[in-house]
Amino acid sequence: MKKPAPKVVQAARAAAPTIYEQLPEIKPGQSIELLKELHILTREGKLNQDSRRKLKQVYHLVQFIEPLVKEVQDRKAGQGVTLVDHGAGKSYLGFILYDLLFKGRDDDSHIYGIETREELVQKSTELARRLEFPGMSFLNLSVADSTVSTQLPPAIDVVTALHACNTATDDAIDFALKKHAKHIVLVPCCQAEIASVLRKNKGKDLGRSALTEIWRHPIHTREFGSQITNVLRCLQLEAHGYQVTVTELVGWEHSMKNELIVATYKNLPRKRPAERLQEVLAELGLEEMARRFYTESAAHA
């Protein structure tokens, strides 16, 4: 059988659908090689059901973060943008954000992935080297340690903490406040600390107010503790001048961990949210948590 003429081959290739046409879930311009390295795409360029769900989840977060990054890029006009991703894990989000928004920029923009599991830090570092993503670094640090680490710059533009467990989310807020972050994106996870304080004080608090009925039963203590933790976080951010939006992270697997908090620094009035924060702590017998949910005045005291 004769081989097809070169022009016929070229025409056939031109008519063949691209992978972006075959897989409309993939954003235009997204590196196919990156998605293969992240094991979202198979080596043959296929997308299985689990990977499709993972990609949808990451892209859903990207749609919230992308306009924040672009706002900073526009405002800084050619200067580098810094983003820190706490609890980075395998760094799906960091790599995809870098590929879509940072790659090829002629500035010193940088994404830092903070992760306590050393093996994941090493794998991500090697992958960034292999993909030639020079503006990515991965640090084997806890969120709390990263706040004082000299490996990070003194100011950060965007801070993300997605499913940073329990108090790690509060540490990420502390990091963002001390790094003067313009934008903060949080998906809280496993908030147990407030519930433990409510449980500890239950005996002396019961009967003080009818509101204590809200957390009289253990399952309600856990659920209410999680809810009030996020309320306190929002008040704390507002008490530092941030505009806060709370929404549902549609498409995430775990519906109980489906809350998304987005905060943007607007230099808003601080007095009222700071007062409300203290009132909530006092009403619920959580005064001992004031150090964690500190306000601007307390930070300067």
The pTM of this model reads 0.88
Last residue of a domain, one of 95, 121, 152: 152
Q: How far apart are CA 176 and CA 63, in angstroms?
A: 21
Q: How far apart are CA 82 and CA 193, in angstroms?
A: 30
Q: How confident is the model at residue 38 (pLDDT cuts 50, 70, 90)?
A: very high
Q: Find the CATH number of the domain harbouring 73.
A: 3.40.50
pLDDT recorded at residue 16: 44
Same domain, 238 and 144: no
Same domain, 118 and 230: no
Last residue of a domain, one of 152, 172, 201: 152
pLDDT (tens digit per residue) in 141-157: 999 999 999 999 999 99
Count of domains forming the chain: 2
Same domain, 134 and 78: yes
User: The tokens of 163 are what?
Assistant: 């499913």
Has residue 53 got a pLDDT over 50? yes
Same domain, 142 and 67: yes
Q: How far apart are CA 146 and CA 139, in angstroms?
A: 8
Last residue of a domain, one of 99, 134, 152: 152
On whether residue 17 sits in a domain, the answer given is: no
Has residue 254 got a pLDDT over 80? no
Helices marked H in 77-200 — which ranges?
A: 92-97, 118-131, 143-148, 167-178, 193-200
On whether residue 212 sits in a domain, the answer given is: yes
pLDDT recorded at residue 163: 80
The beta-carbon contacts of 266-274 under 8 Å, at least 24 apart in sequence, are: 266/241, 266/242, 267/241, 268/238, 268/241, 268/242, 268/243, 269/241, 270/238, 270/239, 270/240, 270/241, 270/295, 270/296, 270/297, 273/235, 273/238, 273/239, 274/235, 274/239
Same domain, 214 and 110: no
On whether residue 198 sits in a domain, the answer given is: yes
Same domain, 245 and 124: no
Same domain, 148 and 27: yes
Same domain, 148 and 195: no
On whether residue 278 sits in a domain, the answer given is: yes
Eight-class DSSP state of 99: I
pLDDT (tens digit per residue) in 82-140: 999 999 999 999 999 999 999 988 899 999 999 999 999 999 999 999 999 999 999 99
Q: What is the maximum span of the chain, computed from C-alpha positions, in angstroms?
A: 91
Same domain, 139 and 222: no
On whether residue 128 sits in a domain, the answer given is: yes
pLDDT recorded at residue 166: 73
Has residue 34 got a pLDDT over 60? yes
On whether residue 164 sits in a domain, the answer given is: no
Same domain, 142 and 34: yes
On whether residue 28 sits in a domain, the answer given is: yes
User: The tokens of 258 are what?
Assistant: 């489906």
Q: In which residue are the tokens 């809280």 written? A: 188
Mean pLDDT for the stretch of residues 162-183: 92
Q: How far apart are CA 49 and CA 52, in angstroms?
A: 5
Residue 103 dihedral angles phi and psi, to the nearest 5° = -60, 135
Structural domain harbouring 112: 23-152
On whether residue 9 sits in a domain, the answer given is: no
Residue 164 dihedral angles phi and psi, to the nearest 5° = -70, 120
